[in-house]
Amino acid sequence: MTTARDKSCINLKLKVWRQKGPDVKGRFEAYKARDISTDMSFLEMLDVVNEKMILSGKDPIAFDHDCREGICGACGTVVNGRTHGPEKGTTLCQLHMRHFSNGDTVVIEPWRSRAFKVVKDLVVDRSAFDKIIQAGGYISVNTGGAPDGNAIPVPQEAAEKAMDAAACIGCGACVAACPNASAMLFVGAKISQYTLLPQGLPEAKKRALAMIGKMDELGFGNCANEAECEKQCPKEISIENIARMNREFLKAGLF
Amino acid sequence: MITCPNRFRRVRHYAVVKSYRRPNLKIMQCDMNWFIRILGSSIGKKLIMALTGLGFCIFLFAHLAGNLTICAGEDAFNSYAERLHALGPLVILTEIGLLFFAVAHVFIGAYLFYENFRARPERYLVKKNAGGRTIGSVTMPYTGLFILFFIVLHLIDFHFVEKTDQTIYQIVLATFSNPGYALFYIVSMIIVATHVSHGFWSAFQTLGVYNSKYMLPLRVMGTIFSLAVGLGFGFLPIYISFIS
């Protein structure tokens, strides 16, 4: 590999999954990313590669992205075998190219799961998560005057734990990282954020049964407690939430 | 329009009789379906794996405690075996229970393995461990399959063996005098310990006991238990080769 022109720039070899559509067979294609500033984010690096491809009349690499601030959950691919790349607790858009060295080979793959079909290249259809939320990821309240903020006391510890669970951005990295393509960290986080708060309790039983029933129906795998999801989650959601979900489900189902 | 009251009455009458004939059956059917649906869900299947697995952990503990009486000498070991068999129906009941547990654990485990395999039709080209997986968790289905094979062999060697003209102590001594068999046994025990190292705490996680308070104690207990199983059972053939 030739050295980059600027010292703060690197050259990379990319191996990217290309797939024209959901029912077309995909394959890996090799590309060269030249003069990549180490200050760039991973998505900006892909932008640079895509610009060159567009100029030469090629089909650019399709990837999902939105806020590029690490809070929306739109981006995400598997980079060198790790979801959202090698950095801990980071979304792909917040991963900077300074974590790569000149001449590195970077393998970029989409989330792989039966429940997440590839739409194009690195873009996957995550509407399965929406279906799980529609099944029970809400609370039902009658409309009317806004209640007083302190009308329902919430213990500080419960509020903190609910907030930790609610940090889930629904990016799907847990499914992608799970050796069994299980969605239990996502569902665990969503069930936890409601069940820890008094507002979520009236529908706790119904919610647990409905959301887990939907998750099973959509073809996700089963959790084997390997904790890879927790380690690769960009929001570092704990598998404690999976234990809480198990508790909620067994409570709702058996008692 | 004039309705026909007679026909109406007949239909209503029929419906009442029908519902009186089998009212309980319908409720019972409903109840069973509800229970099976819960146990058949992803978490339900995991619950069965956890409960049966913990049952085996208790069995392993009792089995190890019994086996270690061999260190107290031939008489102690033989009398332990005699007293155990003197329990009669209790032993048979436990055996049936263990067999039932084993069938559930093996078949549901195999089905979960199939479902998990199916959940990812296209594999990754590169997949890296981020620190969650352990040797125990990665090899779980394979160590499980090996343990099934080992248990069948173990039962043939020690349970269904002819015991009329030799004591259990003599059988153990004779079997372990073969160094090849002793080595196979030690390797098998390391594999059992590997399976338990993930299975023990994993069962508690599935049961929902796992939280920040119990996280470390359960992990430590799981490691201690798997070490006890591996070292305890694995030590026996070595000990026997020294005394014989």
User: Is residue B85 assigned to a domain?
Assistant: yes
In chain B, the DSSP E strands lie at none
More confident: B22 or A199: A199
Which token pair is B5?
């009251």
Do A76 and A84 meet the contact criterion of CB atoms below 8 Å apart? yes
SS3 B160: coil
Tally of structural domains, chain B = 1
Chain B hits for A113, CB-CB cut-off 8 Å, are 119-120
Q: Give the pLDDT score at B14.
A: 44
More confident: A107 or B78: A107
CA-nearest residue of chain B to A244?
A: B208
Average pLDDT for residues A13-21, to the nearest whole number?
96
Q: Give chain A's domains with CATH numbers.
A: 9-109 (3.10.20.30), 126-139+155-254 (1.10.1060.10)
pLDDT of B11 strictly over 50: no
Render pLDDT for A40-97 as a digit per residue (tens, 0 to 9). Answer: 999 999 999 999 999 999 999 999 999 999 999 999 999 999 999 999 999 999 999 9
Chain CA centroid to CA B108, Å: 10
Q: What is the largest CA-CA distance in chain B?
A: 102
Look over chain A and give the mean of its residue pLDDT values, rounded to a whole number: 94
Distance CA B149, CA A17 (A): 41
Distance CA A158, CA A163 (A): 8
Question: A46: closest CA among A92, A103, A1, A81?
Answer: A92
Q: Give the pLDDT score at B132.
A: 87
CATH of the domain at B169: 1.20.1300.10
Render pLDDT for B148-167 as a digit per residue (tens, 0 to 9). Answer: 999 999 998 888 877 777 88
What's the 3-state SS for A107-129? EEECCCCCCCEEEECCEEECHHH
Distance CA B125, CA A17 (A): 10
Chain A hits for B124, CB-CB cut-off 8 Å, are 78, 81, 109, 112
Query: What is the secondary structure of chain A as a DSSP string?
Result: -PPPSSTTEEEEEEEEEE-SSTTSPPEEEEEEEEEEETTSBHHHHHHHHHHHHHHTTPPPPP---S-SSS-S-----EETTEET-SSTT--GGG-BGGGS-TT-EEEEE----SSSEEEETTEEE-HHHHHHHHHH-S-----SSPPPTTSS---HHHHHHHHHHHT----SHHHHHSTT---HHHHHHHHHHHHTSGGGGGGHHHHHHHHHHHHHHTT-----S--HHHHH-TT---THHHHHHHHHHHHHHH-
Average pLDDT for residues A227-235, to the nearest whole number?
95
Hey, are the CB atoms on B208 and A250 less than 8 Å from each other? yes
CA distance B132 to chain A (A): 4
Chain CA centroid to CA A209, Å: 23
Q: Give the pLDDT score at B10.
A: 46
CA-nearest residue of chain B to A113?
A: B120
Q: Give the pLDDT score at B123.
A: 93
Q: Give the pLDDT score at B13.
A: 43
Average pLDDT for residues B166-176, to the nearest whole number?
84
Q: Give the pLDDT score at B17.
A: 42
Question: B199: closest CA among B91, B119, B105?
Answer: B105
Domain that holds residue B94: 43-120+134-243
Do A111 and A178 meet the contact criterion of CB atoms below 8 Å apart? no
Which token pair is A4?
């980059």
Hey, are the CB atoms on A114 and B121 less than 8 Å from each other? yes
Q: Give the pLDDT score at B179.
A: 87
pLDDT of B118 strictly over 70: yes
pLDDT of B19 strictly over 60: no
Q: Give the pLDDT score at B37.
A: 87
User: Is residue B13 assigned to a domain?
Assistant: no
CA distance B151 to chain A (A): 23
Q: Give the pLDDT score at B20.
A: 45
Render pLDDT for B86-106 as a digit per residue (tens, 0 to 9). Answer: 888 999 999 999 999 999 999
User: Is residue B229 assigned to a domain?
Assistant: yes
> With 0-12 CB in 10 A as exposed, 13-18 as middle and 19+ as buried, what is B107?
exposed
Strands in A78-79's sheet, in edge-to-edge order, are A27-37, A9-18, A105-109, A78-79, A82-83
pLDDT of B1 strictly over 70: no
CA distance A42 to chain B (A): 18
What distances in angstroms separate CA A113 from CA A125, B27, B150, B152, one per listed residue?
A: 10, 39, 34, 36
pLDDT of B23 strictly over 70: no
Do the strands A105-109 and A117-120 form a parallel or antiparallel pair, or are they unpaired?
A: unpaired
Of B119, B126, B205, the CB nearest to A243: B205
Q: Which amino acid is at B153?
A: L
Do A246 and A209 meet the contact criterion of CB atoms below 8 Å apart? no
CA-nearest residue of chain B to A105?
A: B126
User: Among A77-86, B16-25, B126-135, whose mean pLDDT is lowest?
Assistant: B16-25
More confident: A68 or B176: A68
* Polymer length in residues for chain A: 255
Q: Give the pLDDT score at B61.
A: 94
Distance CA A97, CA A48 (A): 12
CA-nearest residue of chain B to A214?
A: B41
User: Is residue B19 assigned to a domain?
Assistant: no
Do B166 and B81 meet the contact criterion of CB atoms below 8 Å apart? no
Render pLDDT for A118-150 as a digit per residue (tens, 0 to 9). Answer: 999 999 999 999 999 999 999 998 888 888 888
Of the pLDDT bands very low, low, confident and very high (cuts 50, 70, 90), residue A4 is: low
User: Is residue B215 assigned to a domain?
Assistant: yes
User: Is residue B63 assigned to a domain?
Assistant: yes
Do A80 and A98 meet the contact criterion of CB atoms below 8 Å apart? no
pLDDT of B54 strictly over 60: yes
Render pLDDT for A156-204 as a digit per residue (tens, 0 to 9). Answer: 999 999 999 999 999 999 999 999 999 999 999 999 999 999 999 999 9
Chain CA centroid to CA B11, Å: 54
> With 0-12 CB in 10 A as exposed, 13-18 as middle and 19+ as buried, what is B134?
middle
More confident: B172 or A28: A28
User: Is residue B74 assigned to a domain?
Assistant: yes
Q: Give the pLDDT score at B24.
A: 53
User: Is residue B170 assigned to a domain?
Assistant: yes
SS3 content of chain B, % helix, strand, coil (to 5): 80, 0, 20
Of B46, B118, B211, the CB nearest to A223: B46
More confident: B16 or A92: A92
Distance CA B203, CA B49 (A): 8
Q: Give the pLDDT score at B15.
A: 43
Of the pLDDT bands very low, low, confident and very high (cuts 50, 70, 90), residue B16 is: very low
Share of chain A above pLDDT 70, in %: 98
Average pLDDT for residues B199-218, to the nearest whole number?
88
Torsion of CA B235, B239, B240, B243, to 10 degrees: 180
